[in-house]
Chains A and B, each alone.
Chain A
Amino acid sequence: MITKIIEFIENFLSSGVPMSAYLIVGLIMFFAGVYGFVTRKNLIMVLISIELILNAADLNFAVFNRYLYPEQTEGFFFTLFAIAVSACEAAVAIAIIINIYRNLNNIDVEKLETLKEPDETYREIIRS
């Protein structure tokens, strides 16, 4: 039993990490991000989830480039580019979130409704 495991690890290490392992990690990261995006109420957590999704995508770019077209570098560059973009986006998003918090003392996505029209009163206004 133990010898079998050692054998597997030896094989594994000698043949390098298979592509599917990276893809599985990327997949888990992506769905963890989606799950967080949908379920979290705190805006910061939502933002972190989005970062997770982005990183999962970046990982996929890098892996596909490395395994399928090792003589080219577009995937890596795209990854770098996406990282830069997501950094900017995070900065902007955090600025917005801080401002929301300053104004409303609250960053719960469910409770940020000030821009939403009130339900029944709106109909009243239309009628009158």
Chain B
Amino acid sequence: MTSPANAWKQWLAENGPRLLLFARGWSNSRQDAEDLVQDAILRMWHHQADKGYTPPDLPLVFSTIRFCGLNHHRSESRRRKREESVIYLNDFQDVWLDPVLEDDEDALILRDAVQHLSEKLREVVMLKFWGGLTFLQISETLAISPNTAASRYRYALEQLAHELRRIKQDRHETA
């Protein structure tokens, strides 16, 4: 029988990247996102005590990451107000998604476009596409109706398609 720790490690190996991607939407850096994931996993461990410490369902973990992200965002806002003189540097090489193929122009454009989607649209796209959730599960995670989740996804794809066409047209005209 697999021990709880090993079961969770295996579960983390399978789902860690998608959890990290979702956490990126709630943090300023990769390190903060990883801290969010760890915080959520810790909460999930205690939550699963009644279920024999089995690995949790993904929608619940996404929801917990979102909750942790909101808490982190509040405390971070308060901290920044206290330390206004501190200059925060961004890591511009830090990206949320990696293209599978090199020199994949469309994928690289979409990567930036996804990051610049509004928060509501980006969450749905991430949960649907890389999180592997159904619209029903997304609705439970984000506390919205399934129809709203579906319409947000559709609207996000339209925006991405429009952005992809616009950038390609600009490059074509420049060339």
Q: Do A and B make up one complex?
A: no
Which residues of A are in contact with B by a Cβ distance under 8 Å?
none
